[in-house]
Amino acid sequence: MRVPLLYATNTALLSTPRLTLRPLVPDDGHHFAELLGADPGAIAMLSHMPDPLTVPAAREWIELRTGPGGHVFALRLPDGTFIGTSGFGGPRDGVPGFGYWIGMPFRGLGYATEAGTACVAHARRLGVRRMVAETFPGNAASVRVLEKLGFRAEGPVDRNYPLRGGWRKLTLHTLDIPELIV
C-alpha cells in the first residue's frame, strides 16, 4: 500500500533567503526551554505547549509532532542559531493545521512569514490543498502573519485546551492552496 505524501515522514530540508528549515528532532527540546521557558506570554498563545516548559516536556511536544503526517521544522539562521519552529500536520477534520512560534529576540523581523511561506510551498508540493490555523484572542501578530500567508479568518470556534484553562474561544483561519501547475 502506498503511503500518501501528506502522511509520510518529514525528511525535507527547506531554505529561504535568511533561514534554513530542517525537521525538528527531540534534541531541539533544549532550544525550546531556552527561548520559551521565560516567556509565559508566548506559551499562553501556544495551545499545547506545556507550562512550565522543561526540556523533557519540550521533547515530548516535539515527538508528538514529528511522526507520520507531521511536517514541523526547526528555524535556523545562517550561523546555526535556533529561532523557533514552523510547520503543519495533525489533520483536524481531515485538514492539516498550520502553526509556528518565534523566540522573543527574533520577533518582528519577518521570520514567521518567511518560514510560513516556505512551509505552505512545501505543503503544496505534497498535494495539500487546504490548511487551517487558529489564533487566541489578542494575538494580533499571528493574525497579521496568517493574513500575509493568505489565510482568511472564518470566525470563532470553541476548543478544549486543558493546558490553557479548558474551553476557549479562538478564531479559525483557512488557506486554500491552489494545485501546483507544472
Which CATH number covers residue 61? 3.40.630.30
How many Å apart are CA 20 and CA 4, to the nearest integer?
25
| Other residues' Cβ atoms within 10 Å of the Cβ of residue 160 | 10
Instruction: Kindly give the confidence (pLDDT) of every residue in the chain, 182 residues in length, as a single tens digit, with 9 standing for 90 and above.
Output: 333 444 455 678 999 999 999 999 999 999 999 999 888 888 878 877 877 888 998 898 888 888 777 899 999 999 999 999 999 987 767 799 999 999 999 999 999 999 999 999 999 999 999 999 999 998 999 999 999 999 999 999 999 888 788 899 999 999 999 987 76
- Smallest Cα–Cα separation from 171: which of 157, 159, 160, 161? 157
Q: How far apart are CA 117 and CA 100, in angstroms?
A: 12
CA distance linking residue 47 with residue 1, whole number of Å: 34
Does 75 fall in a domain? yes
Evaluate whether residue 168 is within a structural domain.
no
Report whether 22 contacts 44 (CB < 8 A): no
Give the number of domains in the chain.
1
Domain assignment present for residue 175? The answer is: no
How is residue 52 annotated by DSSP? S
Give the residue numbers spanning the domain of 122.
5-128
Q: What type of residue is 47?
A: S
DSSP single-letter state for residue 148? H
22 inside domain: yes
Q: Kindly state whether residue 182 falls inside one of the protein's structural domains.
A: no
The SS3 of residue 107 is coil
- Contact of 82 with 28, CB cutoff 8 Å: yes
163 phi and psi angles, rounded to 5 deg: -70, -15
> Would the pTM count as exceeding 0.85?
yes
Within a domain: residue 91? yes
What local confidence, expressed as pLDDT, does residue 169 receive? 93
Number of helices followed by number of strands (H, E) in the chain: 5, 8
pLDDT at position 92? 66
3-state secondary structure of 146: helix
Collapsed DSSP state (helix, strand, coil) of residue 87: strand
pLDDT for 5: 46
Residue 78: inside a domain: yes
Note the pLDDT of residue 1: 30
For 115, other C-beta atoms within 10 Å of its C-beta total: 27
* Residue 99 belongs to some domain of the structure: yes
Q: Tell me if residue 14 falls in helix, strand or coil.
A: strand
What confidence score (pLDDT) does residue 48 get?
79
> How far is residue 47 CA from its own chain's centroid?
11
